[in-house]
Structure 1
Amino acid sequence: MKRIFSKGGRSAAIFLLFLAVWETIARLVNIPNWLLPAPSAIVKTGVKVFPDFLPHFIATVKLSLTGYLIGCGFGFLAAVCLHLLPKLKEAVYPFLILSQNIPIIVLAPLLVIWFGFGILPKIIIITLFCFFPVAVAALDGFRQVPHELRYYMEMAGATKSQLFLKLELPGSLPSIFSGLKISAAYSVMGAVVSEWIGAQEGIGVFMTIASSSFQTEKVFVAIFVIMALSLLFFLAIVLLEKRLMKWQPKGDDKR
């Protein structure tokens, strides 16, 4: 835990230095706000529009969490099925990889045509963002369990389900959490993208309205909130990982 916050402090210091340089250049060069507003102007705009921005923020958070849970759930279940059914994995895995070559931003309008402007196409988009990292990470985790332990349990008479529940699943948790952390950041991006294609509220809607009227300060407010929200989701998964994996060696934390 201390290591997380020490690293976070260094990252925060670098980010504050970046903002200070940005503020200085914006003031010295006198860049117009519609082109590149200074951080101070962005903060002032954020405080000013907060009451109007809050409903958009809440809508995006709800959408992100819903899509994240569904996408990660489907990704984990798919990984379990493919791992336990090797023949199915051989047939399906190449298509799983190929599915990531389809640009989501291109697929989004088709989902609207097929499912309308409701919440379903938005959930599908976020699910597509979150599904792949969890599925691939879990499959790699199941495969990387030490063969010596597997052989020992098989010699002791363990069944296939016992091997999975007592060895492969616990041993794959580090890989699974890596996929969960990637998907946590993707879920917010997926929610914003889904809101661009048709929604009445959300950070994506807020950005679209602001950019169409050249209110660049509001666009940057939305960008910084998206970054903060993604980081918050990521840190939540990191803390959950630390809590659930206390048995893992802590040698790295002492560095």
Structure 2
Amino acid sequence: MAVRSAPAGVAERERPGPGARAAKVAAQAWRPVALLALLFVAWWVITAAGWVEPYLVASPWDTFSIIGNKWGYFWDNTLVTLWETVAGFVIAIALGVLTAVLMVSSVTIERTLYPLLLFAQVIPKIAIAPLFVVWLGTDLAPKIVIAVLMAFFPVVISMVTGLKSIDPEMLQLSATMGAGPAKTFVKIRLPASLPHLFAGLKIAATLAVTGAVVGEFVGANEGLGFVIQQANGNFDTPTLFAGLIIMSVLGVLLFAAVELLEYFVLPWHASRRIDAATTSM
């Protein structure tokens, strides 16, 4: 088989192998890992030295011991919160993308919906969460609704920004070549808006976790919010810290899942290239 050579005047660049990719990941990861290790050591020193009372700040040993001793309890409640979060996140994506498309397609719709979206966003969700519990009961529905409300706004704003960032000359060229609105959207608008959308999805993923837990604070008999609420009422600081840590890990994992999906969906984007220009110290 003949080997294709690069055109004259074009320098051929090798694709980075698995080793180079692993080295880049390691180079990017050591700083946050070092910071987490430093915070953990500070946490351990503060509690071991007795600078704060145990009922105010639980020690790392007590916190992780209770996770191990009550693993089934934490696992079951984490699955409940995970289901509420993922369901709310997926619904927020569907509604957010549809709303953004409608807003971009019509100036009237955009001018009508945008103030309402902004008004709904600035309302504290903890203030309206009891209403959803009264209306929908104490099952999963109100928690999913609050997760949707928390994640919806970043999805809409990022998608609208992406759809509006198209070069007008590209749209004119598409129209000149006879492409209709639907084909222009699929071939030009949607691919160009994906980087903006994924930026919003990363924010929305963490907010969906917060929304689900807020709903569990108000009225629930299971979930991480219920665990934290009970531990707070019983002055069970180790369980409280354990619930907070698990909730944080859940948010980080969802963020990483969106990041991984972006890696496979947008391998062509500059932010996904291993040799992209980055600022290093």
| Equivalent in the alignment of 1:127 | 148
Whether the 8 Å contact between 1:74 and 1:131 is mirrored in structure 2 is yes
Deviations 1:110-169 (A, max 9, x none): 112222222222211111011110011000000011222222212222211122111111
Pick one of 141, 166, 171 that aligns with 2:187. 166
One-letter code of the match for 1:42? T
* Structure with the higher helix share, 1 or 2: 1
Cα deviation, residue 214, structure 1: 0.4
Cα deviation, residue 4, structure 1: 4.5
Decide which structure has the larger Cα Rg and report it.
2
Cα deviation, residue 30, structure 1: 4.8
Whether the 8 Å contact between 2:78 and 2:223 is mirrored in structure 1 is yes
Larger displacement relative to structure 2 (82-91 or 187-196): 82-91
Q: Work out whether 1:218 is the aligned partner of 2:235.
A: no
Larger displacement relative to structure 2 (81-90 or 132-141): 81-90
Whether the 8 Å contact between 2:143 and 2:213 is mirrored in structure 1 is no
What secondary structure is seen at the aligned counterpart in 2 of 1:200?
coil
Distance 2:80 2:145 in 1: 16
Distance 1:166 1:132 in 2: 25
Whether the 8 Å contact between 2:147 and 2:211 is mirrored in structure 1 is yes
| TM-score, normalised via structure 2 length | 0.86
Q: Percent identity?
A: 31
Q: Work out whether 1:152 is the aligned partner of 2:160.
A: no
Q: Which runs of 5+ in 1 are unaligned?
A: none
Distance 1:121 1:22 in 2: 36
Q: What root-mean-square deviation, in Å, do the aligned CA atoms of Structure 1 and Structure 2 show? A: 1.6
| Equivalent in the alignment of 1:97 | 118
| Equivalent in the alignment of 2:76 | 55
| TM-score, normalised via structure 1 length | 0.94
Deviations 1:62-104 (A, max 9, x none): 1111111111111111111111222211221121111111110
Pick one of 65, 77, 95 that aligns with 1:74. 95
What secondary structure is seen at the aligned counterpart in 2 of 1:105?
helix
Distance 1:217 1:37 in 2: 5
Pick one of 194, 218, 240 that aligns with 2:215. 194
| Equivalent in the alignment of 2:48 | 27
Whether the 8 Å contact between 1:31 and 1:37 is mirrored in structure 2 is no
Distance 1:146 1:251, change over 3 A: farther
What secondary structure is seen at the aligned counterpart in 2 of 1:172?
helix
Between 1 and 2, higher relative CO (CA 8 Å, sep ≥ 6) is seen in: 1
